[in-house]
Amino acid sequence: MNILSAIIVFENLHEVKRLFHWGPIIALTVIGMCSTMAILDSIIWYWPLDTTGGSINFIMLINWTVLILYNYFNAMFVGPGYIPLGWKPENQQEIMYLQFCKLCQGYKAPRSHHCRKCNRCVMKMDHHCPWINNCCGQLNHAYFTSFLLLAPLGCMHAALIFIMTTYTQLYDRISFGWSSVKIDMSAARHIHHPIMPFSIAAFAATLFALGLALGTTIAVGMLFFIQMKVILRNKTSIEAWIEEKAKDRIQYYQTGEDFIFPYDLGSRWENFKQVFTWSGTPMGDGIEWPVHEKCNQYTLTIEQLKQKHDKRQRSVEYRVVEDYNGACCPLGKGLNTFFRTPCTEEPRIKLIKGETIFATRGTKWWMYGDKVLNEEQAKAGDRIRGWFPRRCVEKCLYDSANNLTSEEKKEQ
């Protein structure tokens, strides 16, 4: 019993550590500053609590803060849900339709993907969000999307308070002359006498909070619309990308296939209910899903296997000609490499002259690929992949990537 209690305490402490990351620290700081300044501006300078409107406004501000934090912490601590370690389907014949995860020592269930940050296979993974320092997936998708809706609404309310506070407090302090406009911050000529004067410091803090509120409204509001776009089609951001690659693959090889996304139930309302429910618990167990009548449980996983095979066939072998320390923005690799580093949390990998890499994609200044490992690392299931500067490698004259068998590439 003591061992079980110790395990539970350790897991709880591990979850609390999620707060000590730049994403949650910045997010909670912005929420705290906007909420605190909106409440202070309301009850001190703009809309006192002794009025009916002021009381309603105060209750609404508190309500926004509580709802935002409730959904934020649920998205962080409830988590996305993980595929059990060592999982495999009950029907052994279905293994051929699934990818095997060497790190989790199990098969990836439909709609699941392995997250390098969480180091687990995540149910219905949408993406790993640095702002909650966790993945967005099956169990917390509704909480995360609700947070993306409530945060802009709360910030718009706060921004209105900031604007009205500044306007009402400065209006009686501004005198208009024929040739100049003068602002006297020492006192207001208005009849209402606030608890404390609206000083220059209060004015600066209000303007700063206004900037945070407007910036959050725009940035988070855009994320909300992106999320709703995929939810109404019963997709995730990853699945939307897989669907695009499926269309490109079919067009490139002219296979004549008719790819149908299997999880779109044909109705936006039905798709919406797959994520948002009255109970707060999403539909499904994270393993099996309702699918389109022309599809089956493994339609998408089969497409992923085809894309993975195509990716290996089209990979290009490069040899490292210049060392690289794995820095995100390397100073010694040229200005274009420094300023045009990929805007992604995907890792950078160290390079040592003489190593071999199979590149699968890239930009003009950066490339992404898998490093060829030695036998011990390959047997251990290690895999080193990430971004590196294009100038550090050169294409092999004899590209063995296209001459390897699928099994040989898979081992690499």
103, 115 contact by CB (below 8 A)? no
Q: What distance in Å separates the CA atoms of residue 159 and residue 31, rounded to the nearest whole number?
A: 13
Per-residue CA distances from 352 to 17, 297, 316, 392, 401 (Å): 34, 43, 18, 9, 20
- H or E stretch including 391? none
Q: Which of 125, 96, 194, 134 is nearest to 14 (CA)?
A: 134
Catalytic residues: 129
135, 125 contact by CB (below 8 A)? yes
Q: Which of 267, 201, 187 is nearest to 231 (CA)?
A: 267
Rounded to the nearest 10°, the torsion over CA 335, 337, 340, 345 is -140
239, 263 contact by CB (below 8 A)? yes
CA angle 223–285–72, rounded 5-degree value: 35
Q: Which of 213, 207, 223, 222 is nearest to 30 (CA)?
A: 213
Q: What is the widest separation between alpha-carbon atoms in the chain?
A: 88
292, 264 contact by CB (below 8 A)? yes
Coil, strand, or helix at residue 189? coil
Q: What distance in Å separates the CA atoms of residue 125 and residue 292, rounded to the nearest whole number?
A: 20
User: Phi and psi of 47, rounded to 5°?
Assistant: -135, 85
The DSSP 8-state label assigned to residue 42 in this structure reads I
- The neighbour count for residue 379, using CB atoms within 10 Å, is 10
Q: Which residues contact 363 (CB under 8 A, 6 or more apart)?
A: 340, 342, 390
330, 337 contact by CB (below 8 A)? yes
